[in-house]
Structure 1
């Protein structure tokens, strides 16, 4: 081959770093003026560590580039832009990995199994390390900037594994510890029901879950937590206790709700007659539930219109009874009831009815007798 057809690239060696100016963008390569007789070539695969469709996605004409020599032969000098960037990126990443540093990166591709990000070279966030929760569709993450940490770095294998989940977990843990230190028994907070169990509901109160025991879900008896709340419900809860060492918080929904006694004096007044259910019999009387969660006492002296030895002689648990309200005290949660007074009133009413009927009968009899006497006259 004559000298006119042969390029002398003796001053250029594989591994060298040199400057070049972009002179032409072609579909699959870029031509660069590197001060030699022939222009250097950057294949599209050597332009970026990320997938690109066209060289114009990365460079433009007349742009000055720092390049690494990949191959030299009699015809061409093959150059790489991504190799220079990769060398700088590896040094930077190794420093970050050593210091367990947190940094930002942009999601460039959505691939099977996770996200490809730009960290100066191709980095990968596996799907399991993106969030603390399951993500079904990652399409919204494209071009999104994420805070990440490096979890695995291997230059020989060209492997950079990152985690956004680690950042989120660290933030959540810090938030959790701050909350554990700041909350106190008696505080009323808003929380979201996370999950239900046979013994209650776990509620997120801002970074940490507390337990609302089934006995603290409502004033009335609750058989199943799902009868009262559902996952996702936003509810108010009162902090009952905080165990910071074991990271346990006891909560009450019941204490934030109006109690069954609240406003009882507006609903029930002295002299009212109401129906109730006998719930408990004791030596001194019977407790009768007249509203859900509201029991009043019928003292033994108010059970019957005669002397009885024990309430069991007249009443039994579960029995429906009519009672008269003698007294209501909301602040002391006390209601006095009477069955005897109703019986007395009923007897008096019956007596009045009887005497009324008797008077009418007497009047009718005298009329009849009078008529008879008139006839005899």
Structure 2
């Protein structure tokens, strides 16, 4: 009875490893592994391709997409940032930005739990206003504000941020009916500013 040999694929063992001269050769274990130094070099190149920005810094970003709930902004970092659309609404509730617009945003954190950059439009705007207030104080420039309401000792005034106008500073003569000034615009000078405490006196 003739011997029947198992069918074999030429040049391969049953496991699929190549055969060379009757010797089974196996793939090198490091064929698919990147050299550690080369990996670090590539990672450095990747990181250097992004902007060098720090937390707490106001940066410019490009609006990539606007949805009903959020605005996606690219600040040139590893990932995009997501900002609530409510930070881009005007007094009538209309969205004030669209795709392609350049906006100033505050970088709060470089990454959240989901890997997104944490940004804020409102905080960036407030920081810019504070810079303008400090400049107006240093240069003794006039600022224009709208009276919000009457409070103890004077008026609360909106100059981009909330400020205090003492009753004694409103006019050379005492103003008896401070409520009548609500909603009016006044020209004033900043006489005291404390950014850390958030206090502005006009």
TM-score where L is the length of structure 1: 0.32
Distance 1:39 1:111 in 2: 43
Alignment of 1:181-200 (within 5 A): none
Alignment of 1:76-225 (within 5 A): 76-101=116-141, 103-107=142-146, 109-110=148-149, 112-113=151-152, 114-119=155-160, 121-131=161-171, 132-138=174-180, 141-142=182-183, 144-162=184-202
Distance 2:113 2:56 in 1: 17
Shift of 1:128: 4.9
Determine if contact 2:163/2:199 at 8 Å carries over to the other structure.
yes
Determine if contact 1:9/1:74 at 8 Å carries over to the other structure.
no
**Structure 2 vs 1, CA of residues 54 and 105 (structure 1 numbering), >3 Å: closer, same or farther?**
same
Shift of 1:116: 2.7
Determine if contact 1:24/1:31 at 8 Å carries over to the other structure.
yes
Structure 2: 5+ residue runs without aligned partners? 1-45
**Structure 2 vs 1, CA of residues 80 and 152 (structure 1 numbering), >3 Å: closer, same or farther?**
same
Distance 1:44 1:129 in 2: 39
Shift of 1:147: 0.8
Q: Which runs of 4+ in 1 moved over 6 A?
A: 52-55
2:98 aligned partner: 61
User: How many residues align structurally?
Assistant: 146
- SS of 1:68's equivalent in the other structure is strand
**Structure 2 vs 1, CA of residues 147 and 38 (structure 1 numbering), >3 Å: closer, same or farther?**
same
Determine if contact 1:104/1:145 at 8 Å carries over to the other structure.
no
1:34 aligned partner: 75
1:17 aligned partner: 58
Bigger share in helix: 1
Determine if contact 1:117/1:125 at 8 Å carries over to the other structure.
no
Shift of 1:54: 7.6
Shift of 1:17: 3.5
1:271 aligned partner: none
Distance 2:121 2:198 in 1: 16
Compare relative contact order (CA 8 Å, sep 6+) and give the higher one, 1 or 2.
2
Bigger share in strand: 1
Shift of 1:79: 1.2
Shift of 1:89: 3.1
1:371 aligned partner: none
Determine if contact 1:44/1:54 at 8 Å carries over to the other structure.
no
Determine if contact 1:43/1:78 at 8 Å carries over to the other structure.
no
TM-score where L is the length of structure 2: 0.53
